[in-house]
Amino acid sequence: MLPWRTPAGGPKAAKLRDVRTRPRTVAALFLSLFTLPVVLAGCGGGGTEAQSSSATLTASGTTAAAETFAEGATAEDSATDAPPFPGNAEPDTADPSSGAAVTVSDIRVGRQDGFDRVVFEVGGTGTPGWDVRYVDAASSQGSGAPVDVAGKAVLQVTLTGVGYPYDTGVEEYSASGPLSAAGTKVVTEVAFDATFEGTTMAFVGTTAKAPFRVYLLQNPARVVLEVADPS
């Protein structure tokens, strides 16, 4: 049985309509010429401000997609009841809820104070479990083919209690390449692998074998992986 994969590809770019109007009088033409520098100056300032406050996350998709990821990573993924970071880098596991059948719908990466965060948002029934651990090499489940992940260490993230999209009714996350974020200090990139026989796997490259913690957030359900800055 081959692992389920969704076709690669980012969101379609929005088409812009070019609307032109013709001044009906000489006075209107003069007025438009007089106000043009002011309008252009205002547009230039607004563009710079929007660009400076836009997403810090970059992926091999589109800029619009990156902005969506960054907004989600900073707005709805914060938590005040996160467990403390362990003093080691041992595996972290948890069981799914009874009858869980979820699909990963989004993955986000962000930088926080003292650590980097990776969020796996899911949709469907129940809540997922997980098995997160460092591995010597990344290999695709089902086929065993090697997976290229940038970084000196690799965290293998296996989500359990997973169903295929045609069972859960949730569109599965897809990207044309690894996901990364500007400004991160530990996480280098996230490579989404596949869904196969009730599990979904992804690989998180890191700059070192650093301590990490994993916990669940609700509404929407998401598994949060945070990797601490090396001491």
CATH number at residue 96: 2.60.40.3500
Q: Which of 10, 34, 54 marks a domain boundary?
A: 54
Residue 13 lies in a domain: no
145 contacts 182 by C-beta, under 8 angstroms: no
Q: Nearest Cα to 111, choosing from 7, 230, 227, 231?
A: 227
Say what the pLDDT of residue 158 is.
Answer: 98
Q: Which of 35, 54, 73 marks a domain boundary?
A: 54
Q: Which of 54, 72, 95 marks a domain boundary?
A: 54
Q: Say how far apart CA 120 and CA 105 lie, in whole Å.
A: 8
Q: Nearest Cα to 221, choosing from 106, 116, 135, 131?
A: 106
Residue 166 lies in a domain: yes
Say what the pLDDT of residue 7 is.
Answer: 42
Close Cβ partners of 72 (under 8 Å, ≥ 6 residues apart): 106, 108, 119, 121
Residue 152 lies in a domain: yes
Residue 133 lies in a domain: yes
Residue 18 lies in a domain: no
The verdict on 31 and 78 lying in the same domain is: no
Domain count, the chain: 2
The verdict on 148 and 219 lying in the same domain is: yes
Say what the pLDDT of residue 231 is.
Answer: 81
The verdict on 133 and 152 lying in the same domain is: yes
The verdict on 47 and 64 lying in the same domain is: no
Say what the pLDDT of residue 80 is.
Answer: 63
The verdict on 75 and 136 lying in the same domain is: yes
The verdict on 201 and 94 lying in the same domain is: yes
The verdict on 133 and 209 lying in the same domain is: yes
Structural tokens at position 5: 């994969």
The verdict on 50 and 61 lying in the same domain is: no
Q: Say how far apart CA 194 and CA 90 lie, in whole Å.
A: 24
DSSP 136: S
Single-letter residue type at 192: F
Q: What is the pLDDT along the chain (231 residues), one digit of tens a residue?
A: 445 554 444 433 333 333 333 333 333 433 343 343 433 344 444 443 333 332 333 333 333 333 333 434 445 676 668 999 999 999 999 999 999 999 999 999 999 999 999 999 999 999 999 999 999 999 999 899 999 999 999 999 999 999 999 999 999 999 999 999 999 999 999 999 999 999 999 999 999 999 999 999 999 999 999 999 998
Q: Rounded to a whole number, what is the distance in angstroms from the first to the last CA of the chain?
A: 43
130 contacts 155 by C-beta, under 8 angstroms: no
Burial 166-203 (b: 16+ CB within 10 A, else e): eebebebbebeebbbbeebbbbbbbbbbbbbeebbbbb
The verdict on 223 and 122 lying in the same domain is: yes
Residue 7 lies in a domain: no
Q: Give the side-chain half-sphere CA count within 13 A for 27.
A: 0
Say what the pLDDT of residue 74 is.
Answer: 43
The verdict on 75 and 42 lying in the same domain is: no
The verdict on 106 and 217 lying in the same domain is: yes
Q: Nearest Cα to 172, choosing from 180, 181, 162?
A: 162
The verdict on 37 and 122 lying in the same domain is: no
Quote the domain boundaries for residue 43: 25-54
Residue 17 lies in a domain: no
Say what the pLDDT of residue 44 is.
Answer: 44
